[in-house]
Structure 1
């Protein structure tokens, strides 16, 4: 038994790596090696551009990059720019200059790449935050430093700038409070005064106390005179002083998401009290100090969560009010698994999801009888997002997204400044597994949500099983589904004139992403009016220029890393939108000559029928029939991580090291398969929730079915199949080796979850509920309870400073295997690595062990 779990073993495995010479560079005829493919990717593969954004005059493209062809030896990536020729006669055919590095002086005044543009309604001005200060950019005169006005420069951080409803001022947050800065005078006015030290105001006087006070004043002249003088002094003093906002006590709670309505009548905010939850720690042994240092980490699933209240401050009435959410339809509904007729199969069908409008369902007033007492069911706790307000100085409506903490419900509710304590239900999405999918949002995020006009909103919902785009009139309730079909709308952008949506979808193929334009007025299902704007096969991650006349496409194919491409539009006559056509122009070349020398394979994207009839999409790598290296009958199945992620697609994988490793395996005669198992992204709600209450159920049988498909169709020996993966992929590898030991002869579980009760709350509770409430789900889903089934050879690799899946997971499983007297396993620990490895030597060591495992055992 090789327990690489002691200091001597760690040293022994480290020394050969440190002594490695410079990794060789493969040519089109030479074989790959672990040293080559696991070296520093900046020096070997190159650095793809990321973080793309435009200047506000639509002339300059900014992006983060490292030019592998330059002499720049910077250790990190830098900001680059390409300034395009002016549109017009010379513009489209003029040569496009090479990327140049952006100076520090220019960077200082640029918005950040991840900033959501905040424009005034005429789109002549733009707000942004940088370094904790607020800037105003005049878009009519360009983005140069002279045209940027710095509005604040303070030690305290200012954030969340927006234009006031009348656009004469900027509203921003400082130290949890809202402020108003007049754009003409620069005058700053504080709008709220939240005081963490102050408690809620005392309760009103009782009838008895009120009567006694009046009686005293009626009886005694001296009391009556003193009160009159005191009241007069207070009135005079108040009249002399400038207006100050009312002090609102928060009783030690944190103020979140404060927002002023466009009409200035209402401030909405959340008050959060942190829960007293025990957090985990991760010991760090390799430190500069020479001492072991504890890294603070997360809580575990099921720990108490923060309590949040949704509040409004009525500016006119000078009153703060708690908004009761007790009337939310279904607020007391329990999930099906807690009901007597609970379904425990983990199946995901249309019955598990629903959308409920205000006219279709009202809150239930059910009661529970226990020992003769009648009690009303408790309201489920919820989180409320910041309102998305309609535009205009007199706009009175906003929409909030409310999420149940158990994530079974999402409500969209209308806030009206005329009656702030009464919200109207617009849409309810219920899912007995968990609410999710592209554009749906999270705890305090509304996801895709905006206004088309003063009465119409747009949003995304999985109501029909796929995330699609909807519009709704907030007054009449009239709802229109703009997209429909067995595909997902993955990103939504509204055009500046609000006439079109720009949609990224996978409707052409689950493994492709393209940009489409859809008229807002297209009506139900909008298929005929949807225009495809990108054509390159793979993924097209588009950033439109502010004037929507050009697009930068961050594009990749399955065997080509990401590069930037430019596609110019042609302005049509009249009010017709810009037409995009022709070939996109490549702007960057990021890969090195060494990387380009190898003929990287384009894996075939295939479909495999699962045992329940569902199609499984997969990437297949196999030796060519006429290649020098023939298929050997050996096969390896790779399991992607992250749970909700897609990897069987036609673009460059985020698992690029694994992709290169798969090419190496094929060079050695292996067949490699990489599937999008149940719960992978890109395939709709039922696929997403197919693991509800049983991780290691359908997601594992999908891999077993894929292995059988390899044997039946591709000459693979059923006794020579291995499996490996990291994170969730490591978890599936363990479940495969423990619960289907006759299918996979060898497995490498990298940074695996071994017990879901030890993982975080946000991810785990959605799928398995809470460990003390749904013990069945955790028992059948956690590998540590199934370790007795191990037959084949198992390699476990784990970083010791992993703050995501803690090293404790591997240690606990090691002890379990020791007590079970298993001898066909080993554990390799990596003292300086977190969840995602960084050091090339760690990658090399890990993949040498994986390759050795498969070469020896398959």
Structure 2
């Protein structure tokens, strides 16, 4: 959900040629139809194991199926692979330190490739999915995982074996005897002899297993009070890190949603997710298993700096005092701060950035990224294998919340220097830190750095950044030893990249306002790119689309510039015109960029609105991505307040600069944009002529924990934040027409959210509010009929209450 556009920029030369003659007028049937008529975005590119080809996916017209393609970057020749060819295709590869071997996963199985002759061996053929292949530090074995179990494939012997057997139960050999058992052994010599024989057999089996690598390993008995969350094997095969949580953890009651249109003809219920505050996420713990000595150790977090602080102390004191004053002593006691804050391990599955466990390539060092469950602190800690203890290397503290993004980290090729991203200056930048030394910034400035990739030779970091302007993204590179941050690509709308195995070339995904992601290849040091794909269709590219202008709206609240996209006609001489403000979703996303927008349908709708006489403004209000930590944190404990200030500044800018009638401004958006539409109408009645709120959050107490607790803490601890941030608490102020639209099987923002607000309006005897429910849609609509109906109603709302002067 991020992107945008600047008038007159050279970036538009990357677009397919647009027809000069005006096309037929736009209509909702066309722009809300199945988007196959537009073209397909290139997806998931990666290099072949030998670096001679690039694979990518394209969605098949008329189907959700993705076809696999292979393109020769030297000639640009591309081919769609048939099922037989797919069966022989590479997957994204990893390499051993000598670059003699490559390994990849295909259809859930692990394959080994000898690069010199291309010989390929299928290592696994199982019904479960294997993943995460990595070569051992000495290049003699290929390690991989199945679930939380790790295996090692000996390259010389061609044999796979488990590296550890984890038993989440008590060791039966360590069972404590009671008084009666002890007495039995004292009384009966035969029982004593049987026990001695059994003990001797077990001791012999352990000795044989230790001396014979061909035997399966002895199990680790880890107790019956925990379960595994994640496991990570050291490349040298010596250690296994196990992340656990309590087995007794209960997430809490799951709200349900109902499917009314079903294959069976009967209404069917579906469990969704827990409301915020109804049981915090499970605390996690760390076990370090020594596979050679067959011992395991707990890695305590008690020594992490700040782990015993209470960053919510002031809020806690205020809330506890209010509860005690109201005679709710039990609730007050439940809010007592823990002596040591519980943590979770940042994981790629849960967090979206980098993964939480990083072994050095030789297995000699381990770094772990941990977060406090209150999400005010993030630590990167190394492991002292002698003391079996965590050693803090970096602490990132945020009075609001640690970002979901910018958590990538790892090791330089020397195996003893960490690299990581951090927002400690207020902007995500790249750092390196020796384990026993001070951190050094490799990048600095008021721009954001993300997705760092270290070259195979360890000399360069390649990364994505908006250094030129907040809305312009390209690949840059910087020496890992420090030096100049140099621009590599010139697209301004760069969306992803992959470094070739030899480090000489980049496969680049790039887009433009009216062009979905396309694939190119260019020298890694910079140079002229070769375009490899053109998947847009002439029915779309032939239209004379409006190039939205990136504009800078001044803030009247002292926060500087609010970047926005403006859609308007070439003729700016109208005396008075209506306007629509579009509000992007997700809160933390960026829609003002030079890339293809997530909201491509809405962009076409904005073209249609301009055709009908409106102008449109699409703003990256506070909380949006791309503008640093302070911009994101501005909404802490007050969602809907700074953002509304920015939207009202946008309205004032339209009135001042584009002849907009202040009485004829509409507003709409989906998800967070729907929430903001409701906040705009309910907290600023009379400012907007009408609003359409799509799949909106109306009461943050009904949303999930992962997102909401970061920004508003929990309802029990911080009820004031929820009270001032939830539209349902301002329902009595509804004065302007409001259309609510929601998918009935939305498992993200539940339809109950909108239905509760609708009932509130009924009881308050409000007028001019409507709700449209879509029985077969989740949060992101997928059916063209629903898209059409949704936007037909929005169009009619604006034509009735915004376009016409009342």
TM-score range, shorter-chain basis? 0.7 to 0.9
Report which stretch shifted further, 785-794 or 542-551. 542-551
Distance between the aligned counterparts of 2:177 and 2:365, measured in 1? 35
Q: Distance in 1 between matches of 2:592 and 2:689?
A: 24
**Is 1:600 the equivalent of 2:545?**
yes
Cα deviations by residue, 1:214-254 (Å, 9 ceiling, x for unpaired): 9x98x999998777666545544555664632341441643
Q: Deviations over 1:453-497 (max 9, x none)?
A: 1221100111110010000000x2321011100000022000110
TM-superposed deviation, 1:189: 2.8
Task: Look up the match of 2:240.
Answer: 267
The aligned residue for residue 449 of structure 1 is 410
Match of 1:616 in 2: 562
**1:666–1:554: structure 2 CA closer, same or farther, 3 Å change rule?**
same
Q: Is the 8 A contact 2:257 2:271 kept in 1?
A: yes
Indicate if the aligned counterparts of 1:795 and 1:825 stay in contact, CA closer than 8 A: yes
Indicate which of 536, 551, 558 corresponds to 2:506. 551
Q: Which of the numbers 734, 743, 747 marks the counterpart of 1:803?
A: 747
Q: Deviations over 1:15-53 (max 9, x none)?
A: xxxxxxxxxx9972421111111111102x111211111
Q: Structure 2 matches for 1:240-319, cutoff 5 A? A: 242=215, 244-251=217-224, 253-272=226-245, 273=247, 274-304=249-279, 305-319=281-295
Aligned equivalent of 1:171, options 134, 139, 143? 143
In the TM superposition, 1:430-445 aligns within 5 A as: 430-436=397-403, 438-440=405-407
Q: Which residue of 2 aligns with 1:848?
A: 792
Q: Is 2:206–2:218's contact at 8 Å kept on the other side of the alignment?
A: no
Structure 1 gap segments, 5+ residues each: 1-24, 86-94, 344-370, 441-446, 570-577
1:39: which partner in 2? 33
**Take 2:360 and 2:284, find their aligned partners in 1: how far apart are those partners?**
25
Segment of structure 1 superposing worse, 169-178 or 632-641: 169-178
Which position in structure 2 is the counterpart of 1:194?
Answer: 166
Tell me, yes or no, if structure 1 residue 325 matches structure 2 residue 301: yes
Going from structure 1 to structure 2, the CA distance change for 1:579 and 1:432 (only over 3 Å counts) comes to closer
Aligned pair 1:828/2:772, yes or no?
yes
SS of the residue 1:36 aligns to: helix
Distance 1:593 1:845 in 2: 26
Deviations 1:543-591 (A, max 9, x none): 3322233333222222333322332x3xxxxxxxx64223x33322222
Map of 1:759 onto structure 2:
703
Q: Hey, what's the Cα distance between the residues in 2 that align with 1:787 and 1:376?
A: 34
**SS in structure 1 of the partner of residue 477 of structure 2:** strand
Cα distance in 2 for residues equivalent to 1:682 and 1:282: 35
Conserved 8 A contact 1:461-1:470: yes
> Which of 358, 361, 370 is 1:388 aligned to?
358
For 2:133, the equivalent position in structure 1 comes to 161
Could you report, residue by residue, the CA deviation over 1:724-765 in whole angstroms, capped at 9, with x for unpaired residues?
000000000000000001211100000000100101111111
User: What CA distance in whole angstroms lies between the structure 1 residues aligned with 2:496 and 2:511?
Assistant: 9
- Distance verdict in 2 for CA 1:730–1:376, change over 3 Å: closer
Q: 1:424 aligns with which of 381, 391, 397?
A: 391
Counterpart for residue 731 of structure 2:
787
- Whether 2:451 is the aligned partner of 1:479: answer no
Q: Do the aligned partners of 1:631 and 1:670 also contact (CA within 8 Å) in 2?
A: no
What's the offset of the Cα at 1:166?
Answer: 2.0
Cα distance in 2 between the residues matched to 1:478 and 1:466: 20
| Other-structure match for 1:53 | 46
1:238 to 1:642, Cα distance in 2 relative to 1, 3 A:
closer
- What secondary structure, in the 3-state scheme, does the structure 1 residue paired with 2:732 have? helix
Question: How does 1:449-848 map onto structure 2 within 5 Å?
Answer: 449-474=410-435, 476-522=436-482, 526=483, 529-539=484-494, 541-567=496-522, 569=523, 579-582=525-528, 584-614=529-559, 615-625=561-571, 630=574, 632-848=576-792
Q: Does 1:139 align with 2:115?
A: yes
Gaps of 5+ in 2: 1-18, 210-214, 320-331, 347-355
Match of 2:83 in 1: 104
Q: Which residue is equivalent to 1:22? A: none
TM-score, reference length from structure 1: 0.82
In structure 2, how many angstroms separate the alpha carbons of the residues matched to 1:717 and 1:626?
14
Question: Secondary structure in 2 aligned to 1:581?
Answer: coil
Does 1 or 2 have the higher relative contact order (CA < 8 Å, sep 6+)? 2
Is 1:564–1:587's contact at 8 Å kept on the other side of the alignment? yes
Distance 1:222 1:448 in 2: 60
Please state how far the C-alpha of 1:514 moved relative to its aligned partner: 0.8
Aligned residues: 749
User: 3-state DSSP class of the match of 1:172?
Assistant: strand
Residues of 2 paired with 1:621 and 1:735: CA distance?
Answer: 24
Task: Spell out, residue by residue over 1:616-660, the C-alpha distance to the aligned partner (whole angstroms, 9 max, x if none).
Answer: 000011111279xx5742010000001110001122111000000
| Further displaced range: 400-409 or 100-109 | 100-109
Shift of 1:188: 2.8
1:820 Cα deviation after fit:
0.6
Separation (CA, whole Å) in 2 of partners of 1:769 and 1:330:
19
- Provide the TM-score with structure 2 as the length reference: 0.87
State the distance in 1 between where 2:148 and 2:492 align.
47
- Paired position in structure 2 for 1:30: 24
Match of 1:81 among 70, 75, 90: 70
